[in-house]
């Protein structure tokens, strides 16, 4: 399956230039993974499905406003942030990770491919969520396979503007995770707007939870670095 075929399968505009950039970026990730642990997937075609196609599944035009700002939390090898940036050159994307080597790769790859709407930020989520410049500053925050919902919700929602969306990209256990995250979502004024279930080519199940932020987060969130993981706020 080519990148262009993937875009068509997802109902996206069949943009050959964008498809070319997705293909090249994916190849760069696989090549660099031989030196730096960017992804556990070592095959280019498998990565196109499990990284690139998977990244594009979170896209829904109604949640991504024209000229808006997106933060990809725990971006790793740049998924879903870079594919989304290729898809929406009118939007600004901030890719956050705690590992500088990964961000260095992303910046260099984007520069080489002419992807000019991506910036990288080396920071812990709890610190970024409290910074004046990044707190409640984004229309969309994405997180792909990053921690369980009670933890990632505490990290992500402080970045989201009131009225904006936290898009949590999960596997088939999403419903159980949501049950344990009810309490923290109420604390942070996050409400489930939509649940999208799908399968990747090959059959792997995915679930995307679109959480709408309805009011500002309390000032005591996120808690200090490491607390959400050690003492997650659990409860339906």
pLDDT tens-digit map of 178-217: 999 999 999 999 999 999 999 999 999 999 999 999 999 9
CATH of the domain at 222: 3.40.50.150
CB 40 within 8 A of CB 123: no
CA 111 to chain centre: 20
171: containing domain: 60-230
Give the predicted TM-score (pTM) of the model: 0.96
DSSP H/E element including 96: strand 92-97
Whether 212 is in a domain gets the answer: yes
Whether 131 is in a domain gets the answer: yes
Whether 235 is in a domain gets the answer: no
Q: Could you report the per-residue pLDDT of 49-95, keeping only the tens digit for each?
A: 999 999 999 999 999 999 999 999 999 999 999 999 999 999 999 99
Say if strands 205-213 and 160-170 run parallel, antiparallel, or are unpaired: antiparallel
Q: Total structural domains in the chain?
A: 1
Whether 166 is in a domain gets the answer: yes
């Amino acid at each position: 399956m080519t990148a262009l075929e993937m875009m068509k399968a997802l109902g996206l505009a069949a943009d050959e230039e964008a498809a070319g950039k997705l293909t090249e970026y994916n190849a760069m990730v696989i090549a660099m993974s031989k030196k730096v642990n960017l992804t556990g997937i070592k095959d280019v075609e498998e990565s196109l499905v499990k990284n690139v196609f998977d990244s594009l599944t979170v896209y829904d035009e109604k949640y991504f406003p024209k000229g808006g700002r997106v933060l990809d939390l725990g971006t790793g090898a740049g998924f879903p942030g870079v594919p989304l940036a290729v898809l929406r050159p009118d939007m600004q994307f901030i890719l956050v990770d705690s590992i500088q080597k990964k961000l260095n790769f992303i910046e260099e790859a984007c520069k080489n491919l002419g992807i000019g709407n991506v910036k990288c930020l080396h920071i812990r989520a709890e610190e970024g969520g409290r910074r004046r410049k990044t707190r409640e500053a984004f229309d969309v925050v994405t997180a792909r396979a990053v921690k369980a919902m009670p933890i990632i919700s505490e990290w992500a929602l402080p970045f989201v503007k009131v009225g904006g969306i936290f898009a949590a990209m999960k596997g088939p256990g999403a419903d159980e995770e949501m049950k344990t995250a009810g309490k923290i979502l109420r604390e942070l004024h996050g409400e489930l707007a939509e649940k999208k279930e799908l399968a990747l080519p090959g059959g792997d199940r995915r679930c995307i939870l679109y959480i709408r932020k309805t009011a500002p987060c309390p000032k005591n969130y996120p808690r200090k670095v490491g607390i959400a993981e050690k003492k997650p706020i659990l409860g339906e």
